[in-house]
Structure 1
Amino acid sequence: MYIAGMMVGIVGYGRFGRALGGLLEEAGVPYRALDPVADIPEPHRAPSLPALIADATHLVVAVPVAHMRSVLQQMSPHLRPEQLVLDVGSVKVKPVHAMAEVLGTRVPWVGTHPLFGPLSLAMAERPLRVVVCPNPLHPAAAPEAIRFFERLGCEIIEQTPEGHDRVMAHTHALTFFVAKGMVDAGSGLDVPFAPASFQALSRTIQLVRSDAGHLFSAIQHDNPFAREARGHLLEALGNVHRELDALPAGAPPSDAPPLTLPTLDSGLPELHETRELIDQLDQELVELLARRAELSRRALRTKAEAGQPVPDPAREEAMIASRRAWATERGLEPDGVEAIFRAILRFSRRDQHRRG
Structure 2
Amino acid sequence: MTVAIVGFGRFGRALGGLLEEAGIPYRAWDPGVDIPESHRARSVREAVQDATHVVVAVPVALMRHVLLDLNHYLRPEQLVMDVGSVKVRPVQALTEVLGARVPWVGTHPLFGPLSLAMAERPLHVVLCPNPLHPEATAQARAFFEQLGCDIIEQTPEGHDRVMAHTHALTFFVAKGMVDAGSGVDVPFAPASFRSLSRTIQLVRSDAGHLFSAIQHENPFAREARAHLLEALRNVHRELDAQPTEVGFPEEPPLAPPAALETGLPELQETRALIDQVDRELVELLARRAELAKRALKAKAQAGQPVPDPAREEAMLTARREWAAARGLEPDGVEAIFRAILRFSRRAQQNRG
TM-score interval w.r.t. the shorter chain? over 0.9
Once residues 315 and 347 of structure 1 are traced to their aligned partners in structure 2, the CA distance between those partners, rounded to angstroms, is 17
- CA distance in 2 between counterparts of 1:278 and 1:130 reads 31
Matched-pair contact (CA < 8 Å) for 2:292–2:347: no
**1:271 positional shift:** 3.1
Q: What does residue range 1-356 of structure 1 map to in structure 2 within 5 Å?
A: 6-251=1-246, 266-355=262-351
Deviations 1:230-262 (A, max 9, x none): 01111111111101111112549xxxxx9xx9x
Q: Deviations over 1:247-282 (max 9, x none)?
A: 112549xxxxx9xx9x97943433333222222111
| CA distance in structure 1 between the aligned counterparts of 2:195 and 2:92, rounded to whole angstroms | 35
In structure 2, how many angstroms separate the alpha carbons of the residues matched to 1:190 and 1:127? 33
The AA in structure 1 aligned to 2:161 is R
Q: Which amino acid aligns with 1:245?
A: D
**1: CA distance, partners of 2:110 / 2:93:** 21
The 1:128/1:266 distance shift into structure 2, 3 A limit, reads farther
Does structure 1 retain, via aligned residues, the 8 Å contact 2:4–2:54?
A: yes
- SS for the counterpart of 1:56 is coil
Distance 1:185 1:99 in 2: 39
Query: What is the rounded CA distance, in whole Å, between the counterparts of 1:266 and 1:63 in structure 2?
Result: 61
* TM-score using structure 2 length: 0.94
| Distance apart, 1:102 and its partner CA | 0.6
Structure 2 counterpart of 1:309, which letter?
Answer: P
Mapped to 2, the partners of 1:90 and 1:353 lie a distance apart of 36
* 1:17 maps to amino acid: G
Residue 32 of structure 1 aligns to a residue in which SS? strand
SS at match of 2:27: strand
Distance 1:302 1:267 in 2: 52
Instruction: Give 1:355 shift.
Output: 4.1
| Alpha-carbon distance in 2 for matches of 1:244, 1:331 | 40
Give the TM-score normalised by structure 1.
0.93
Gaps of 5+ in 2: none
Distance 2:347 2:116 in 1: 20
Distance of 1:200 and 1:106 partners within structure 2: 47
Q: 1:70 to 1:354 in 2, by over 3 A?
A: closer
| Corresponding residue pairs, total | 343
What letter corresponds to residue 133 of structure 1 in structure 2? Answer: C
Q: Distance in 2 between matches of 1:40 and 1:169?
A: 33
3-state SS of paired residue (2:71): helix
1:179 is paired with a residue of what secondary structure? helix
RMSD of equivalent CA atoms: 1.8
Tell me by how many angstroms 1:29 deviates.
0.7
**Cα distance in 1 for residues equivalent to 2:340 and 2:156:** 43
What residue identity is the alignment partner of 2:22? A
Distance 2:182 2:191 in 1: 15
